[in-house]
Amino acid sequence: MVQGETQKPRETQKPRGSLLPVLIVLSGAVTVVMGLIVLTGRAGLLMVLAVAALLLLPLLHYLTWGWWLSKIIRREQEAEDARRENADRGEDR
């Protein structure tokens, strides 16, 4: 190496994420749920359905307030911005 040259730092690679831990947890959860249903029969199935219903409530909340209403608000904001631009152009004349 010539004097005064600096050595380029080696690029470090980020470790890639793996889905293996997620799959292990999901398989464990499915095993527990199936065991609950088999061992308790109808009561286990009802408990699983109740938990599923409770987990679906946040999804319904997001769809209603987060996604649907944000589209409406965005449209109204764009219309208001367009009205302001038109008003500003009218004042400049």
Domain count, the chain: 1
Asked if residue 20 belongs to a domain, the reply is no
Mean pLDDT of the chain: 83
| Farthest-apart Cα atoms in the chain, separation | 80
Query: For position 91, what pLDDT does the model report?
Result: 60
Asked if residue 70 belongs to a domain, the reply is yes
Asked if residue 19 belongs to a domain, the reply is no
Asked if residue 1 belongs to a domain, the reply is no
Q: How far is CA 78 from each of CA 8, 29, 68, rounded to the nearest angstrom?
A: 49, 45, 16
pLDDT tens digits, residue range 18-53? 889 999 999 999 998 888 888 888 888 888 889 899
The pTM for the full model equals 0.42
- Angle at 34 (CA atoms; ends 24, 61), nearest 5 degrees: 75
